[in-house]
């Protein structure tokens, strides 16, 4: 048997090698082949997930919703102390001091990260801004978002907080943060497909214990994670319900 693993494309490129190291570690732990496939675009990945290509998915919270409710996946673990938070930042010399200073016609620069974009749009609502009265420039990475903010090609940029924090000081010093989310209960999860549920507890236990030995810890470090903690079905449902309230339809 070979387990097919994929990872949400929203982590910093520096940690790509970490996921390959994790792949090897998991293979040894389970005594079975694990194949890691990475994507640089959310849509292409989602299409392949829906086509049943993957058994194990490290998913952003919005995709987790689709994986659980539509495809019957179950969340095994979440990364410890790593909530997904969103930052809206502007050029340090910009006249705006708060989100409410933004006016209709404002320009945004974003990646195609669905959860950051949704939370970002929610944080623009106090200024009566939405997709209909803003213009969005979508780019491939948070570094490019930052470049566009620095060149003042857009009024504000949306960032995953983790990605913002990893930008160089040189870049960060030229931006100011207008708002930073503090949601704390929305985070990535590692989910297992319905057809492999008989391995759920083995995989979950191995991941939770990863932090207990030196090898496991070094793998975690290369992925920029502190460790994994178990997620119960109700915790997963709670998070998905919460995300559901953030999607306007």
Partner 1 sequence: MPEHDVKDVRDIVINYHDGTSRKAIVLDREVPYPEGKLIVSRTDTQGVITHANQAFVEMSGYTEDELIGTNHYILRHPDMPSVAFAGLWETIEAGNKWHGYVKNLRKDGAYYWVKATVIPNIRNGVVVGYTSVRRKPSRSKISESEALYKTLS
Is residue 185 close enough to count as binding partner 1 by CB under 8 A? yes
Is residue 193 close enough to count as binding partner 1 by CB under 8 A? no
Candidates 24-32, 35-43, 117-125, 134-142: pick the segment binding partner 1 (CB under 8 A): 117-125
Is residue 165 close enough to count as binding partner 1 by CB under 8 A? no
Candidates 18-26, 46-54, 102-110, 235-243: pick the segment binding partner 1 (CB under 8 A): 235-243
Shortest distance (Å) from residue 212 CB to partner 1: 31
Under a CB-based contact definition with an 8 Å cutoff, are residues 100 and 178 in contact? no
Class of residue 94 by CB neighbours under 10 A (exposed 0-12, middle 13-18, buried 19+): middle
Nearer CB in complex with partner 1: 180/205 = 180
Nearer CB in complex with partner 1: 177/200 = 177
Q: Residue 95 in 3-state DSSP? A: coil
Candidates 4-12, 125-133, 150-158, 162-170: pick the segment binding partner 1 (CB under 8 A): 125-133
Number of Cβ within 10 Å of residue 198's Cβ equals: 8
Is residue 241 close enough to count as binding partner 1 by CB under 8 A? yes
Tokens 């009265």 -> residue: 133
Contact pick of 128, 140, 165, 221 for partner 1 (by CB under 8 A): 128
Q: Which residues of 11-38 are buried (b: 16+ CB within 10 A; e: fewer)?
A: bbeebeebbebbbebbbebeeeebebee
Nearer CB in complex with partner 1: 183/226 = 183
Nearer CB in complex with partner 1: 52/104 = 104
Is residue 181 close enough to count as binding partner 1 by CB under 8 A? yes
Ordered DSSP codes for 165-207: HTS-HHHHTTEEEEEE----S-B-EEEE-GGGGGGHHHHHHHH
Phi/psi for 81 (5° steps) reads: 50, 50
C-alpha 23/C-alpha 192 separation (Å) is: 15
Candidates 102-110, 142-150, 204-212, 239-247: pick the segment binding partner 1 (CB under 8 A): 239-247
Residues within the interface to partner 1 (CB under 8 A) = 100, 122-123, 125-128, 179-183, 185, 237-238, 241-242, 244-246, 248-249
């Amino acid at each position: 048997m070979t387990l097919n693993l994929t990872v949400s494309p929203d982590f910093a490129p520096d940690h790509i090698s970490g996921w390959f190291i994790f792949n090897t570690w998991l293979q040894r732990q389970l005594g079975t082949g694990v194949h890691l496939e990475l994507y640089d675009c959310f849509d292409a990945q989602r299409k392949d997930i829906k086509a049943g290509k993957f058994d194990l998915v490290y998913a952003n919270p919005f995709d987790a919703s689709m994986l659980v409710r539509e495809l019957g996946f179950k969340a095994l673990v979440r990364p410890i102390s790593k909530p997904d938070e969103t930052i809206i930042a502007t050029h340090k010399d910009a006249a705006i001091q708060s989100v409410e200073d933004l006016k209709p016609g404002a320009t945004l620069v974003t990646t195609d990260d669905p959860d950051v974009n949704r939370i970002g749009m929610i944080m623009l609502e106090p200024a009566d801004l939405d997709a209909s009265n803003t213009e969005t420039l979508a780019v491939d990475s948070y570094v490019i978002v930052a470049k566009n903010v620095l060149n003042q090609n857009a009024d504000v940029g949306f960032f995953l907080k983790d990605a913002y924090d990893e930008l160089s000081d040189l870049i960060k010093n030229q931006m100011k943060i207008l708002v930073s989310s503090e949601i704390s209960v929305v985070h990535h999860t590692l989910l297992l497909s319905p057809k492999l549920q008989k391995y759920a507890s083995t995989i979950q236990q191995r991941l939770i214990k990863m932090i207990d030995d030196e090898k496991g810890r070094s793998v975690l470090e290369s992925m920029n994670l502190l460790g994994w903690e178990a997620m119960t079905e109700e915790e997963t449902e709670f998070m998905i319900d919460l995300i559901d309230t953030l999607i306007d339809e």
